[in-house]
Structure 1
């Protein structure tokens, strides 16, 4: 062993692995025993060091200079200083640079799963947006739904699988693509499922009713319920999977327009809106169908304050339509009083149900306490916005809420109609010609 130089024995780690031994000119492997020369810093195999000492050029006999004194003056000239170059930030050098170069060679390009997850996520999101915002046929809706559902599931699964493989193969690129693909899939799933869960009053697509027969049935109904049936309208809001239906009450005709009272959530598909402008953005393609079978477009023109669930619609008056609503301010309401409701539950339009008033309650809306009529009268999705009447056929409430039938039965609520009239501004009272809504003379004679 070379006694002139001293060295430190160590086990080669990953940073020093691959360094060439200056004695045998072979790479030193990770885990091998090696010696670092204290003089020149070269790394040698332990066997080579024991055989001949440091094998570097500078430590070989004849290549090194011996000084008489340990004190050696090193002269650095101006040219030396000017020729210096600053290392780039984060630059590696020495054995670390070698190890870094080896790691770079392990890279094998983009991870294909991450790219597939990205494409599927974007595709599913696009399909769900088209399905949500475009009115298409039933077949088209189902096609977009299947594309969105399948794409979001696959993008989430492949994105998660791709992200998991990066832990064992850090050389692969595309981790961000994996997360973007998963995010797109999750958002597409939300946009696909939310309309189904939040649909306000789902239309009864399985029922194809003959509107002519419905009209004939209404005209021959019992006199006490004929007027309320004629005053009822069917309201459809939205399109595609984002469509809902409900009921409405025709109040009066004025200047070739008919004014209709209903619930705001029928138009907004269950969303809470703070003002009329916000409702107009949500409520699209409003269609109002009268008992005669004629369908016209509707426009919201008034929204109750304090998020009270009432709204006025204005439509062009169908030919020959005459309002049949009876209203009298301050009609008596009491527990146990028999009442009936008219509405369009689950697409079974112009349905009559009867029951009793279970309780009269107060509900707070901002600074207002409104009378709410709790009724046992059967109501279902589609009755919202329809009328509640006493046995004399006078309108006494607007059917608005039902408790979940999975946990309750017979807990339904209407907003007292007098509360609506008290909310109206004077100009709207004048437009609606309130109070004093009664059956026209010719309708009274028919009864």
Structure 2
């Protein structure tokens, strides 16, 4: 009875699992890979810093699309990526050199010692300034790396076998900034300080005084071994005018005892804490290493201490010196008005005998 009552199952109208027909993968060369290589090549003459990055991105996308397909273009994509990297690196190097003004040959300063014979026959004003100029060098052993630097100074007094040298504070204190809250703290050099006279060996020195209120001046004390050490002449009543002929003596970039002529371009004022100091603007060449050196009038009297210069990539002929009168107003210890010492007249070369011959 049960078998007679059973009914057959209904046949489905369509199969439950129909076969899926896969479309054939596209063939041919990937356009994205070709575009990557074209953009990378275009980046060589064009701005490769941008086009190179675009080529790298396009090449990476092309490689992802080519993988697992029948498309060609792997070589184009890899070439676009590699050339894109070359574009980016090359343009970064080019821009760096262009902004820095190109590659300059490095000077070995040890090969450019001044010729001692040049002091003979110099105009007395320049010769006296040359002998009063010193090269100041500090070496710091603070930390694991340490550091060193050079600057200039001027001998302004000699007594009892010692000489007093005026320089900038930032020459003897590399961590100095015009921060008035800590301006009166003594410098923490943590190394050695040496000074060198023209044609003489270096000798140890020590900081004797620093200017208050963040004024960039300092006095250094060192032994005066030689009997012919000369101090720069200076006066308390210097009359400075715009257009007045001046010259600087210092050690720019370590090239010691360099003479740089110029004029006073302007007289300015600077506020340092509660004080206002006088600043001399000059077009005499002032470069790194001139800091602390002297600015002199045409008679060889010290009128200022070279302190600042503008970025040479922006402008030329902008140098600044703290006027000597501003240092005297601070009443630093050990400075005494020098006795007037007449400068020796410059020797004139012998005149040639008259002759009728042409």
Structure 1 residue 258: Cα displacement:
0.5
Judged with a 3 Å threshold, the aligned counterparts in structure 2 of structure 1 residues 397 and 323 are, in CA distance, closer, same or farther, namely: same
The 8 Å contact of residues 215 and 293 in structure 1, kept in 2 or not, is answered as no
Q: Measure, in 2, the Cα distance between the counterparts of 1:357 and 1:320.
A: 34
Structure 1 residue 407: Cα displacement:
1.2
Structure 1 residue 209: Cα displacement:
4.3
SS in 1 for 2:326: helix
Q: Measure, in 2, the Cα distance between the counterparts of 1:351 and 1:390.
A: 16
The 8 Å contact of residues 136 and 152 in structure 2, kept in 1 or not, is answered as yes
Structure 1 residue 373: Cα displacement:
0.4
Q: Can you list the C-alpha shifts for 1:349-389, whole angstroms capped at 9, x where unaligned?
A: 00000111111011001111111001111111000000000
The 8 Å contact of residues 356 and 377 in structure 1, kept in 2 or not, is answered as yes
> Is 1:284–2:191 an aligned residue pair?
yes
- Which residue number in structure 2 is paired with residue 296 of structure 1? 203
Q: Measure, in 1, the Cα distance between the counterparts of 2:149 and 2:213.
A: 24
SS in 2 for 1:282: coil
Judged with a 3 Å threshold, the aligned counterparts in structure 2 of structure 1 residues 438 and 344 are, in CA distance, closer, same or farther, namely: farther
Structure 1 residue 446: Cα displacement:
7.7
Q: Measure, in 1, the Cα distance between the counterparts of 2:228 and 2:292.
A: 20
109, 130, 140: which is aligned to 1:207? 109
Within-5 A mapping of 1:46-445: 206-209=108-111, 211=113, 214-239=115-140, 242-269=147-174, 271-272=176-177, 274=182, 278-279=186-187, 281-282=188-189, 284-425=191-332, 428=333, 431-433=334-336, 435-439=337-341, 444=344
RMSD: 2.2
SS in 2 for 1:208: helix
Structure 1 residue 343: Cα displacement:
0.3
The 8 Å contact of residues 133 and 249 in structure 2, kept in 1 or not, is answered as yes
User: What 5-or-longer segments of structure 2 have no aligned partner?
Assistant: 1-105, 348-358
Structure 1 residue 271: Cα displacement:
2.7
Structure 1 residue 397: Cα displacement:
0.3
Q: Larger Rg: 1 or 2?
A: 1
Structure 1 residue 290: Cα displacement:
0.4
TM-score (normalizing by structure 1):
0.49
* Corresponding residue pairs, total: 235
Q: Measure, in 1, the Cα distance between the counterparts of 2:184 and 2:204.
A: 17
TM-score (normalizing by structure 2):
0.61
Structure 1 residue 254: Cα displacement:
1.5
Higher relative contact order (CA 8 A, sep 6+): 2
User: What 5-or-longer segments of structure 1 have no aligned partner?
Assistant: 1-203
Judged with a 3 Å threshold, the aligned counterparts in structure 2 of structure 1 residues 247 and 402 are, in CA distance, closer, same or farther, namely: same
The 8 Å contact of residues 205 and 347 in structure 1, kept in 2 or not, is answered as no
Q: Measure, in 2, the Cα distance between the counterparts of 1:209 and 1:220.
A: 24
Q: Measure, in 1, the Cα distance between the counterparts of 2:152 and 2:237.
A: 24
The 8 Å contact of residues 328 and 437 in structure 1, kept in 2 or not, is answered as no
Q: Can you list the C-alpha shifts for 1:163-214, whole angstroms capped at 9, x where unaligned?
A: xxxxxxxxxxxxxxxxxxxxxxxxxxxxxxxxxxxxxxxxx86121465x53
